[in-house]
Structure 1
């Protein structure tokens, strides 16, 4: 099966044409009438994780003892996600692979429109109707382990290699199911090129974003300035060198040289409306996918945002909260 757009072939495009038409209509409605209708989804499928990464926003607002069943999620998919004609939904957590029943439910209800963000420290299950896995890697082994815990890189790497050594899925080689995502911060920025070279030719894609702080002075935040701009320029050079492997467009990643999202904790140019974000109880998160349904919870600093999912929309001309 030939890949045409982001890992989707002719068969996928034909089957999903109604969703492309829906997104096209939403974009036209936005451009002509400033009508803001959600296009994509982000879902915290569970409230537990086996790691405690130093940069992770999720632990800031976590509460114990809350979770939904797979059937609860099936109802939310039918009543909220499908009714809003969301094209692709990204499952996050917690660690979503700790709830394979929920992932299976999403794959059943939204075939080939489900991405899973995972630390891949557990063996990766082969879901028939999964779009792909976003595997979080924070640089080369030493740096990754410093952020995620000793031995985590080796587990993640082995589970990726075990998965891609398996049989084809949906007529495609298994390595096409694995995309790497790296969140750049003050501890790992120097490994961008090395990580790219290590995984090129082994997995399908790699994408970069920057750490988003929840408070001023966060030591992991990489300040705007010469050093950060140099990292952005390196990613642009990697894109030119490996255009089919690095997914960031020069226009999108260039936004990361400065403030593109908002003022304080308030989105301005960021199109947070375009992604409908659910927490682990099916409640809508604000102001964005790393926010919270609790109005008293800590909020991300929009003016220092480094998220890729919103900046790619801004680069395409979709803006405004």
Structure 2
């Protein structure tokens, strides 16, 4: 089966034709009528994480609330939000979403083959029947990854990925097709990009890159715009030409990352932040985007230094605020 669109083959596209048709009509309405429909979804299904990664946006806006929505609460929310608005794909994040597998299962039941899970990979990866795929976070090669996420984190994640891949096929596809890696590039790990690619190409399906987005002007992890960052982007573009089926970012999206593309200070300008319906662990809408918060008093991401992949790819496709 040939992968045509984001890991989907012909049979996948035909089987899920209504979802693809809805997606097409939304793009046409945006282009022709300047409408602003929700295209994708994001949900923080848990308010707990087993790691405390130094670069993670979630800790900057997290509220210390212990109560979370029940499975049935989430089922109702899915129907009244994501399904009501015919959202194409929902990405489950947290915290660490695999600490609430029953909620992941509920999403997969309600929106089969339309659910991605972003995980740090330190828990064994369950074989959810109707999952779209896993986004496993790796922030460089082992030493650097561990310096960001904690000693031993890389080895745990690698073992869990390889254990999953060694398992049986799922829905007629080999297990390795379920695993995509996401790397958030920052001032600590940018020199390990090629090493990470070389280690994982031929083992998992795809890798995607984005850049660390600061919430503070003095964030030491932000890789400043300028010659060094541009060289990093050019290197990824060069590697993409070498491995076009492995690196999922488009060249146009990567070029955006050389400078300001999203907004001014903490206000989205070109960024189509409206395109992603983002809910926190209480089911409340996050602002100004999926790395923001439903709390109006919380810290906000600096839009003019944004490096978030899910919005920059939309801008690269011609969608703007």
Q: TM-score range by the shorter chain?
A: over 0.9
- Residues of 2 paired with 1:82 and 1:243: CA distance? 33
SS of aligned partner of 2:257 = helix
1:114-263 → structure 2 map (5 Å cutoff)? 114-263=115-264
Gapped regions of structure 1 (runs ≥ 5) = none
- Residues of 2 paired with 1:10 and 1:315: CA distance? 25
Match of 2:318 in 1: 317
The structural deviation recorded for 1:10 is 2.3
Which stretch shows the higher mean deviation, 56-65 or 146-155?
56-65
Match of 1:266 in 2: 267
Gapped regions of structure 2 (runs ≥ 5) = none
The structural deviation recorded for 1:157 is 0.3
RMSD: 0.8
Q: Is the 8 A contact 1:66 1:280 kept in 2?
A: no
The alignment's TM-score, normalised by the length of structure 2, stands at 0.98
Match of 2:10 in 1: 10
- Residues of 1 paired with 2:185 and 2:242: CA distance? 20
Match of 1:62 in 2: 62
Match of 2:30 in 1: 30
The alignment's TM-score, normalised by the length of structure 1, stands at 0.98
List, as ranges, runs of 4+ consecutive aligned residues in structure 1 with deviation greater than 4 Å.
none
The structural deviation recorded for 1:11 is 2.4
The structural deviation recorded for 1:3 is 2.5
Match of 2:39 in 1: 39
The structural deviation recorded for 1:30 is 1.1
Which stretch shows the higher mean deviation, 248-257 or 20-29?
20-29
The structural deviation recorded for 1:27 is 1.2
- Residues of 2 paired with 1:309 and 1:261: CA distance? 12
Provide the aligned length of Structure 1 versus Structure 2: 320
Q: Deviations over 1:70-114 (max 9, x none)?
A: 111100011111010001000000000000000000000000000
- Residues of 2 paired with 1:314 and 1:303: CA distance? 14
